[in-house]
Amino acid sequence: MSTLIHSQIPFPPSCAPNTDRLSPYDGVSIQNGSSEPENAAGSITHVPGDPSISLLPDNVYNYLSHHLETVLLDELYEKLWIVAKKSSRNIDPLHTQKVKGRSIVPTEDPRLHLTWHPDRIYIKPIPVFLLNYEFWTTYLQPSTQNSSSGFDSSIAVGFLRSYALLVPHRLDFMLAKEAYLIPDDVSDWLQWSKFITHFRHLSDESVARRYHYGQLRISRLNWAVRIFRPRHARTMWFYEIPHWSITSFVSRATIPLLFIFAGISLVLSSMQVALSVPTDDPWFDGLSESGLQDIGRGFWVFSIAIILGWVALWALFLSIPIVTLVWQVSWGFAREKKRRARVFAA
């Protein structure tokens, strides 16, 4: 293997966990219209880990795009600093995710990789093909990126660098195995450590722009979608739709609906009390007309106070999204100002 290739691929062939030999299509077989490449003894004619995808370059590049590209986050990249911390090292190891009370949810959607809610974080498992050195030399060399059909290898590099931060310890490795994040090709901690260490200290210049950021909070990404209206968003309101059934939506909406019902009932009751102060009740026999007026006035004041308090509470409730938006934008500008000051100082 040439020195040039070693300098382009982050890890050496001796550290590759998957050692399948590939029999890819060459230019001659493509020109001749061959449906299968010549299969050398012991080699495979499909993408490592997925027998349904042949090694025809267009198939491979489409497959890579489907599994690794983050088109929506790339579109939002220039504005992400408003809603997220621009630090590629802002990725908690898996054991820290557990300490913070987050469950680990595997997902094959690259758009959700490293996005989180307070109680869970989404992580895309490592595809087997990224563990194969020959696959990198054939399809993920930077020199092939000038081709319009090629794939940007910095996306794959950034993806694996995120795993170097997610799984830096033996305990993290065990948690990753339990969550099915690391393929069976990686048999033990030592093999994993030898492989992933080559990605741990790569600079941001070596990875795709999405991986200039670490883990991203979904609630803040929702605000980014609402504010900037990216064309690749699935909806105008959410980065990821929070409700997939009417049952979960109703269960979460029950408490606010009960609060609304109780508030309206309280207002109506207060108005009814204010309008129906009794004057012929035995309790009021010893009171003069002025005394009854004072009691009526007291009921009026109390009822109006209840109504005004309820209105103020609802005004506060409805202003929360606006306050959150203003705070989020202010937070983003403050962090970006500090980051740029550090860059200029350096």
Instruction: Specify the pLDDT at position 280.
Output: 59
Q: Which of 32-36, 117-121, 253-257, 298-302 has the lowest mean pLDDT?
A: 32-36
Residue 59 in this model has a pLDDT that exceeds 70 = yes
- For residues 339 and 242, the model is more confident at 242
User: Band of the pLDDT at 77, cuts 50, 70, 90?
Assistant: very high
Task: Give yes or no for a contact between 273 and 295, defined as CB atoms under 8 angstroms apart.
Answer: no
Segment among 44-53, 71-80, 305-314 with least mean pLDDT: 305-314
Lowest mean pLDDT among 97-111, 306-320, 329-343: 329-343
pTM: 0.74
Q: In angstroms, rounded to a whole number, what is the distance separating the alpha carbons of residues 209 and 240?
A: 20
Q: What is the mean pLDDT of the chain?
A: 83
Q: Residue 140 — pLDDT band, cuts 50, 70, 90?
A: very high
Predicted local confidence at residue 326, as pLDDT: 76
Which tokens in the block code for residue 27? 């230019």
* Sign of the C-alpha dihedral computed for residues 137, 140, 144 and 150 taken in this order: positive
Q: What is the mean predicted confidence (pLDDT) over 1-21?
A: 76
For 16, 145, 149, 189, 196, the CA distances from 6, given in Å and listed in that order, are: 13, 17, 23, 24, 16
Of 20-24, 76-80, 115-119, 269-273, the range with the lowest mean pLDDT is 269-273
Per-residue pLDDT, averaged over 14-34, amounts to: 73
Q: Is 48 helix (H, G, I), strand (E, B) or coil?
A: coil
What confidence score (pLDDT) does residue 145 get? 46
Task: Choose between 304 and 289: higher pLDDT.
Answer: 304
In this prediction, residue 322 carries a pLDDT of 76
- pLDDT at 54 exceeding the cut of 70: yes
pLDDT digits (tens, 9 = 90+) for 246-271: 666 566 667 776 777 777 777 667 66
Phi/psi of residue 262, each to 5°? -65, -40
Highest mean pLDDT among 4-13, 62-71, 141-150: 62-71
Least confident of 24-38, 115-129, 192-206, 324-338: 24-38
Q: Taking residues 107-112, what's their average pLDDT?
A: 97
- DSSP letter at 43? E
Most confident region among 75-79, 300-304, 318-322 by mean pLDDT: 75-79
Residue type, 128: V
Q: What is the per-residue pLDDT for 138? A: 92
Q: Confidence class of residue 292 from pLDDT cuts 50, 70 and 90?
A: low
Closest CA to 89 of 169, 165, 175: 165
β-pairing, 115-117 vs 120-123, is antiparallel
pLDDT tens, residue by residue, 216-251 = 999 999 989 998 999 999 888 899 988 766 666 566
Q: What is the pLDDT of residue 15?
A: 96
Q: Answer for the pair 133, 160: CB distance below 8 angstroms, yes or no.
A: no
| Confidence bin at 184 (pLDDT 50/70/90) | very high
Angstrom distance (rounded) from CA 226 to CA 252: 21
Q: What is the spatial order of strands in the sheet that 103-106 belongs to?
A: 103-106, 120-123, 115-117, 216-217
